[in-house]
Chain A
Amino acid sequence: QVQLQESGPGLVKPSQTLSLTCAVSGTSITSGGYYWNWIRQHPGKGLEWIGYILFSGSTIYNPSLKSRVTISLDTSKNHISLKLSSVTAADTAMYYCAKDLGAHVDTYGMDVWGQGTTVTVSS
């Protein structure tokens, strides 16, 4: 059974870089053929897709965040990382990692989600 667990600092200062990790268990992030997503949810608001990384390491980002986002794989730890630079208060949100349902298919939505980690941007 695939499980995801996000971790990272809960508080980040404005203009700094937010760094989060998603620990994956139950499957290898490179051999399962899955797509690994980051999504965020502002307090009391809806869901915003940040981007995803393929098992091959290729990435696709939301253009609204593209200049500030980096998603990468750490195969030694079976982790997925998210970095978001130059953060502002508008980046305060719950951040989730999530796995796409289908192997080698990215049109079926996300079936496994981490519990999420809350990030507050404040000085």
Chain B
Amino acid sequence: DIQMTQAPSSVSASVGDRVTITCRASKDVANRLVWYQQKPGKVPKLLIYAASTLQSGVPSRFSGSGSGTDFTLTISSLQPEDFATYYCQQADSFPRTFGQGTKLEIK
């Protein structure tokens, strides 16, 4: 299985801050990397696919980059609704695997 490791596991930030979350795959997944946002008690929401393609309806303050084994999710200017847990997922091989999540909290 491909192991996905996110860093940090949690981060505190303020509204307006720029935040970057990293995701590392244990093997090359090319650009087959997906990011989700999950708020407490809610369903995961697809943010970015193919490492850098913004899903329809997702604000442009979210961006993704990377290829191979190292990826980043950046939120350029945090908004109150962005405080949530973020997961990366590789879509290159089976089984599909997720990172452990990064909890973004209000400072």
Q: Which of B10-18, B66-74, B85-93 contacts A (4 or more CB under 8 A)?
A: B85-93
Check B97 against A49 for contact (C-beta < 8 Å).
yes
Q: Of residues 25 to 47 in B, which have CB atoms within 8 Å of A's CB atoms? A: 32, 34, 36, 43-46
Where chain B touches its partner, the secondary structure class is loop
B95 near A109: Cβ-Cβ < 8 Å: no
Return 19 A-B CB contacts under 8 Å, by A number: A46-B98, A46-B99, A47-B87, A47-B101, A49-B89, A49-B97, A49-B98, A61-B95, A62-B94, A63-B1, A96-B43, A101-B46, A108-B34, A109-B34, A109-B36, A109-B46, A109-B49, A110-B34, A115-B43
Count CB-based A-B contacts (< 8 Å): 60
Docked Cα-Cα span, A47 to B34, in Å, equals 13
Interface centre among A51, A96, A109 (most CB of B within 10 A): A109
